[in-house]
Amino acid sequence: MATARSFADMLAQFLTIYLPVTRACSHNTVSAYRDAFTLFLRFMDQRQATSPDKVSFEDFTASNMAAYLGWLRTDRHCSDATANQRLAAVKSFFRYVQTQAPEQIAQAQQVLSLKAAQVPQPAIGYLPVEAVGLLLECATRRGLRDLALLTTLYDTGARVQEVCDLSIVDLHLGKPASITLTGKGRKTRIVPLTPQAAQILTQHVRTLPDDSSKPVFANRTGQQLGRAGAAYILAKCVHAAHADRPELVPAKVSPHQLRHSKAMHLLENGVNLIYIRDILGHASIVTTEVYAKANPEMKRRAVEAAASKTLGPSRYDHASRQDLLDWLRQAI
């Protein structure tokens, strides 16, 4: 009879084989799953007096999980959205456990039956075209690398990690220019570049070592620029732009807001959602549809277009409107 596999062995298999190899998850995704369990082990140690090496499948009860989520909110000051992400990571692990260790199905169901907290959908933060232009002007003052970085983030609508991971070989700067991005699940996609972005990147690449395997964006030591470094560069440009036009550029802008801005601007210019989905690298069109729902200008245009087809042009002339106003004044 086979020996039941321990929680520690299953967790190690999940984090080192299943996620990075079978699922082809990125390093950042694997780290997020790891952090969920690191925090659970810390919770068990501090609140349940169970050292990490003693934690077993039996400790993943509905009551312990509920207490863990409460601990995240109170002691760790996590938002409901963050707590939901930790819960989703644990649930993903137990779905994996069910397929590998059927004897743990009953235990897994205690975790899988937990409901995530209801979290209101946050508004999508994006910048008007003029604000993006001002950010790029500020980046120009800082140097060619920073201008190329912000231009690439906006022009491709890429995630910040996708841009940080770019190597020179991923750039195709001839006509028509394009860029190869590697996204979630290590899936690659080719995104077209505008002529202006291609020109800026061409100038930037000329300053780099003649080695196609080198990163497009490097830090001062020549190593690949990280997400924190990209966010720092953007923050410096945002600070300068906000000082120039505080009514136009908010005090804080994240790299992801440049992605949102690109999607919104494409939508406002009539680009089909299918194409926007492919540019952004979304697995489903449903994810991309949030931009159409969040854009009030698109809603207004849709209502007006529908009204023009069903109602036709207004039949009131100036005199009719004036008569109506007179009637309203007299009748009410």
**SS3 assignment for the chain:** CCCCCCHHHHHHHHHHHHHHHHCCCCHHHHHHHHHHHHHHHHHHHHHCCCCHHHCCHHHCCHHHHHHHHHHHHHCCCCCHHHHHHHHHHHHHHHHHHHHHCHHHHHHHHHHHCCCCCCCCCCCCCCCCHHHHHHHHHHHHHHCHHHHHHHHHHHHHCCCHHHHHCCEHHHEECCCCCEEEEECHHHCEEEEECCHHHHHHHHHHHCCCCCCCCCECCECCCCCECCHHHHHHHHHHHHHHHHHHCCCCCCCCCCHHHHHHHHHHHHHHCCCCHHHHHHHHCCCCHHHHHHHHHHCHHHHHHHHHHHHHHHCCCCCCCHHHHHHHHHHHHHHC
User: Looking at 68, 96, 126, 291, which residue is catalytic?
Assistant: 291
User: Looking at 5, 184, 227, 265, which residue is catalytic?
Assistant: 184
Active site (annotated) includes residue 265: no
Active site (annotated) includes residue 206: no
User: Looking at 86, 159, 262, 277, which residue is catalytic?
Assistant: 159
Active site (annotated) includes residue 184: yes
Active site (annotated) includes residue 282: yes
- How many whole angstroms separate alpha carbon 22 and alpha carbon 25? 8
User: Looking at 242, 259, 260, 262, which residue is catalytic?
Assistant: 259
User: Looking at 42, 239, 256, 265, which residue is catalytic?
Assistant: 256
User: Looking at 91, 260, 277, 282, which residue is catalytic?
Assistant: 282
Active site (annotated) includes residue 300: no
Active site (annotated) includes residue 318: no
**Catalytic residue positions?**
159, 184, 256, 259, 282, 291
